[in-house]
């Protein structure tokens, strides 16, 4: 097995899939990339058993097909030290040792039999939908930060996808905050709902945000999903279980509505939160007339801060507290000039909604639970 490839091209493909690799693999062979050569097509795969990613590269020069597992870390670290130069790979079929020739340098790696590398699970009788990579990238980045990190509630540690003939909806929540991202310009022929894990979604987000817009083909069954985008294929296991009824926690009647400049609001909360209690990050909102007073204090260190902002407000005078970290995360994931903050009572959830969204087919709703105000 022998082939020649550009070092920068190979490095780009390896970096695109390397995020799948785990640091504590149960199978030692998963510390490797799988290289499979067939005629002049090279497939490079990374896997952690739950998620498998493959990058496909067309080569100008290749001899004798075959497969070999090559240690991932040393290969990545070596390729990073070179500019764009040709790399020649020669694999000894008797012991799977790999000889890399780069310029005047020769580098030998101990490979393993590629036939022992675990394969991605085939998806039987899948359903299919196609979504533009820009839409998919937005849906992931707008929701994934709200997913839970609690291993005891695995269904909430992923992003819930709801497909129907009217729209597609992506939801993430950790019980303190919730994001619902809906697109009416994407429709599915069959109704379906499944929970995608956070790790593979992060891999896709990184690829979609750095590549040009192209369609993403998604195939899914009850247990697995496969994403195909350009030369990248990713198969992942879905999270099993029933997602909580997220619609039940979204308050429908919110008589108190504040519209405010997003960047000004964001910067003010960022400053005020520095003076808040560093365990609760509580910031107090006091809204009356056209004024929003933000305040925070940390009694233990005698720190306190307050700022006054101008806003457009309709409703009764209100005092309510929020975890500033959650509010900041939400405001950072909205890109409109103004946002609307809808509230009802100090002990009920507040909604953050973008105002005058450029994309009319995009519907974003963010929910944040209040914290009890400390006197």
Domain region containing 99: 2-116
Check whether residue 110 and residue 169 sit in a common domain: no
If one counts the domains in the chain, the total is 3
Check whether residue 283 and residue 241 sit in a common domain: no
Over its length of 375 residues, how does the chain's per-residue pLDDT go in tens digits?
A: 999 999 999 999 999 999 999 988 889 999 999 999 999 999 999 999 999 999 999 998 999 999 999 999 999 999 999 999 999 999 999 999 999 999 899 999 999 999 999 999 899 999 999 999 999 999 999 999 999 999 889 999 999 999 999 999 999 999 999 999 999 999 998 899 999 999 999 999 999 988 888 999 999 999 999 999 999 999 999 999 999 999 999 999 999 999 999 999 999 999 999 999 999 999 999 999 999 999 999 988 999 999 999 999 999 999 999 999 999 999 999 999 999 999 999 999 999 999 988 788 999 999 999 998 765
Tokens 């790979």 -> residue = 89
CA distances to 42, 161, 195, 198 from 148, rounded to whole Å, are: 37, 15, 13, 9
Q: Is residue 237 part of a domain?
A: yes
Check whether residue 218 and residue 312 sit in a common domain: no
Q: Is residue 366 part of a domain?
A: yes
Q: Is 317 exposed, middle or buried (0-12, 13-18, 19+ CB in 10 A)?
A: exposed
pLDDT at 209: 82
pLDDT at 359: 83
Out of 54, 89, 116, a domain closes at 116
Check whether residue 351 and residue 367 sit in a common domain: yes
Q: Is residue 236 part of a domain?
A: yes
Q: Is residue 219 part of a domain?
A: yes
Beta bridge partners of 318: 287
Q: Is residue 60 part of a domain?
A: yes
Check whether residue 65 and residue 146 sit in a common domain: no
Q: How far apart are CA 130 and CA 134, in angstroms?
A: 12
Q: Are strands 303-310 and 291-298 parallel, antiparallel or unpaired?
A: antiparallel
Contact 243, 178 (CB under 8 A): no
Out of 248, 273, 299, a domain closes at 248
Q: Is residue 122 part of a domain?
A: no
Question: Do you know the residue count of the chain?
Answer: 375
Contact 47, 37 (CB under 8 A): no
CATH of the domain at 144: 3.10.150.10
Q: Is residue 161 part of a domain?
A: yes
Check whether residue 346 and residue 324 sit in a common domain: yes
Check whether residue 292 and residue 244 sit in a common domain: no
Check whether residue 137 and residue 78 sit in a common domain: no
Check whether residue 365 and residue 263 sit in a common domain: yes
Nearest Cα neighbor of 143 from 157, 163, 129 is 157
Check whether residue 17 and residue 109 sit in a common domain: yes
Out of 213, 248, 283, a domain closes at 248
pLDDT at 23: 87
* Contacts (Cβ under 8 Å, ≥6 apart) of 210: none
Q: Is residue 22 part of a domain?
A: yes
32: helix, coil or strand?
Answer: strand
pLDDT at 210: 81
pLDDT at 375: 56
Check whether residue 144 and residue 244 sit in a common domain: yes
Q: How far apart are CA 256 and CA 93, in angstroms?
A: 72
pLDDT at 374: 63
Check whether residue 237 and residue 339 sit in a common domain: no
């Amino acid at each position: 097995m022998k082939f020649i490839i550009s070092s920068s091209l190979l490095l780009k493909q390896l970096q695109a899939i390397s995020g799948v690799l785990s640091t504590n693999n149960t199978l030692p062979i998963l510390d490797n990339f799988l290289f499979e050569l067939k005629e002049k097509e090279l497939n490079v795969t990374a896997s952690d058993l739950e998620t498998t990613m493959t990058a496909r590269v067309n080569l100008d020069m290749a001899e004798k097909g075959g497969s070999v597992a090559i240690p991932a870390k040393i290969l990545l670290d070596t390729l990073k030290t070179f500019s764009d130069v040709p790399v020649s790979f020669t694999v000894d079929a008797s012991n799977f040792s790999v000889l890399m020739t780069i310029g005047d340098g020769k580098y030998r790696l101990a490979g393993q039999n590629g036939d022992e590398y675990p394969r991605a699970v085939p998806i039987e009788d899948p359903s299919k939908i196609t979504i533009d990579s820009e839409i998919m990238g937005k849906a992931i980045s707008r929701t994934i930060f709200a997913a839970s990190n609690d291993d005891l509630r695995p269904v909430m540690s992923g992003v819930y996808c709801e497909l129907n003939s009217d729209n597609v909806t992506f939801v993430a929540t950790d019980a303190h905050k919730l994001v619902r991202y809906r697109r009416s310009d994407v429709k599915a022929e069959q109704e379906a709902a499944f929970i995608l894990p956070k790790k593979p979604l992060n891999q896709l987000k990184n690829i979609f945000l750095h590549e040009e817009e192209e369609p993403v083909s998604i195939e899914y069954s009850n247990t697995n999903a496969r994403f195909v985008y350009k030369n990248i294929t990713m198969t992942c296991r879905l999270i099993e279980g029933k997602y909580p009824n997220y619609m039940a926690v979204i308050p429908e009647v919110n008589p108190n509505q504040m519209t405010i400049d997003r960047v000004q609001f964001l910067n003010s909360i960022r400053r005020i939160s520095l003076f808040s209690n560093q365990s609760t990050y509580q910031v107090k909102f006091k809204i009356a007339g056209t004024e929003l007073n933000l305040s925070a204090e940390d009694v233990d260190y005698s720190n306190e801060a307050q700022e006054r902002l101008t806003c457009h407000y309709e409703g009764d005078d209100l005092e309510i507290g929020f975890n500033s970290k959650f509010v900041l995360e939400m405001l950072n994931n909205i890109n409109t000039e103004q946002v609307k903050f809808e509230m009802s009572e100090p002990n009920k959830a507040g909604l953050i909604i973008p105002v005058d969204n450029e994309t009319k087919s995009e519907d974003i709703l963010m929910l944040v639970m209040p914290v009890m105000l400390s006197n």
